[in-house]
């Protein structure tokens, strides 16, 4: 399965004003939750530790990435490939 990480982290080849970069969560909110070089949180941990806005951005970015594969509209969270 192809997952579009640019929807979560942004695209460094685009200008910061581009829509994709304006809506992306970016690295910093997740880096702030890391302990050392590791980030190990489940969805509940992300919801509890990210701001409400950042959590919603992350969910939206993942939905957009899945929609590019046609998975979101079927309610799937995983691909079998």
What's phi and psi for 28, nearest 5 deg? -60, -45
In whole angstroms, what separates CA 75 from the centre of its chain?
Answer: 17
Contact 10, 21 (CB under 8 A): yes
Q: What is the pLDDT of residues 2-61, one digit of tens each?
A: 667 888 999 999 999 999 899 899 999 999 999 999 999 999 999 999 999 999 999 998
Given a contact cutoff of 8 angstroms between Cβ atoms, the answer to whether 39 and 23 are in contact is: no
Task: Say yes or no to pLDDT of 77 above 60.
Answer: no
Residue 2, pLDDT score: 62
Domain ranges of the chain: 6-74
CA atoms of 30 and 56, how far apart (whole Å)? 13
Rounded to an integer, the average pLDDT of 57-81 is 66
**What confidence category does residue 63 fall into, taking pLDDT thresholds of 50, 70 and 90?**
confident
């Amino acid at each position: 399965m192809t997952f579009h990480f640019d929807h979560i982290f942004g695209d460094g080849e685009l200008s910061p004003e581009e829509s994709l970069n304006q809506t992306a969560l970016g690295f910093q909110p997740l880096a702030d939750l890391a302990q050392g070089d590791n980030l190990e949180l489940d969805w509940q941990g992300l919801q509890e530790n990210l701001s409400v806005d950042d959590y919603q951005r992350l969910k939206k970015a993942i939905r957009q990435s899945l929609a590019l594969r046609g998975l979101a509209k079927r309610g799937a969270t995983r691909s079998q490939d």
